[in-house]
Amino acid sequence: MYTHRIVISLISYLITFVLAIENKAEAARLARHLVESVRGIGTISTVFPEGHGLQGHPFSLEAYYAPCYRNGSLTVLMMPISQSFNNILHNEDHNATISVMPLDGTARASNYRVGLIGHISEIDKRSSNGMGDEGSRLRECYLSTHPDSAIWVPPHGVPHNSYFARFDIDHVWYTGGFGDSHYIGYIPESLYSVSTAESNVIII
């Protein structure tokens, strides 16, 4: 009788466990929601380029982004004075990683987070300078996420030069929390890119 109860309890636990585990589609939706719900604040990680005194060392710093694209690509503001973006520009593939975590102050180890592994793509000069139809939409999207950056954005950014660029995602790493019921691993970019978007301003 005792053994029977143990078996029943174990089966119930396993059923609950299986039902609770996130699949990749759920993880993709949660990852996309996270990226679009934290007011465009993440940590951008780059590597000092060849020839630099710190060549090969990683460099990470908090940075702004805006979710302006239907496929999950992000808009970033490039500034020549920024070490992060100088590292990107002097890297042949313009690689970077943007990591995002919730901003609600909950326990970090048990919370979900995402690493977006990708590269910076330059857009046409007028758009990158905040001009033309797409440039205007980029300004609108970026400022809807970061109204405090109104004086920085092109075409009249002060005190430093700036221009818009697109962060395209190549790989997505997702940690849903502790591994007993949450997905941990890579999410296919093709799945992430079609997950539900919540941005107010969509460029493409």
In a domain, 197, yes or no: no
Mean pLDDT of 83-103: 93
In order of 46, 62, 88, 183, 189, the CA distances from 118 in angstroms are 11, 17, 11, 21, 10
pLDDT at 202 over 90: no
Domain count, the chain: 1
pLDDT at 63 over 50: yes
Q: What is the mean pLDDT of the chain?
A: 84
User: Which pLDDT does position 181 carry in this prediction?
Assistant: 77
pLDDT at 47 over 90: yes
Q: Are 203 and 145 in contact (CB under 8 A)?
A: no
pTM of the entire predicted model:
0.83
- Confidence bin at 148 (pLDDT 50/70/90): very high
Q: Are 93 and 170 in contact (CB under 8 A)?
A: no
Mean pLDDT of 42-60: 94
DSSP 24-54: HHHHHHHHHHHHHHSTTEEEEEEEPPTTSTT
Domain extent for 72:
2-192
Q: Give bridge partners of residue 169 from the DSSP assignment.
A: 118
In a domain, 156, yes or no: yes
pLDDT at 145 over 70: yes
In a domain, 201, yes or no: no
User: Which pLDDT does position 130 carry in this prediction?
Assistant: 83
- Confidence bin at 67 (pLDDT 50/70/90): very high
Q: Are 147 and 39 in contact (CB under 8 A)?
A: no
Give percent above pLDDT 90 in the chain: 57
pLDDT at 75 over 90: yes
User: Which pLDDT does position 11 carry in this prediction?
Assistant: 43
In a domain, 149, yes or no: yes
Residue 11: give its domain's CATH number: 2.30.110.10
Mean pLDDT of 135-148: 93
DSSP H or E stretch at residue 198 = none
Q: Which residue did the predictor score with more confidence, 20 or 187? A: 187
In a domain, 48, yes or no: yes
Integer Cα distance of 52 and 30 in angstroms: 38
Q: Residue 72: left (phi > 0), alpha (psi -120 to 50), or beta?
A: left
**By mean pLDDT, which of 32-36, 159-163, 171-175 is the weakest?**
159-163
In a domain, 162, yes or no: yes
In a domain, 204, yes or no: no
In a domain, 198, yes or no: no
Mean pLDDT of 127-136: 86
